[in-house]
Amino acid sequence: MPLNLAPNIPDGDGFYDELLQAHQGLSKEQSEAFNARLILILCNHIGDREVIRQALRAAAG
- Determine whether 10 is exposed, middle or buried from the number of CB atoms within 10 Å of its CB (0-12, 13-18, 19+): exposed
Residue range 14-30, pLDDT digits in tens: 999 999 999 999 999 99
Domain residues for 49? 26-60
Residue range 28-58, pLDDT digits in tens: 999 999 999 999 999 999 999 999 999 999 9
Q: Is 32 a member of any domain?
A: yes
Q: How far apart are CA 3 and CA 50, in angstroms?
A: 9
pTM for the full predicted model: 0.89
Number of domains forming the structure of the chain: 1
Q: Is 14 a member of any domain?
A: no
Segments of 1-61 assigned E as strands: none
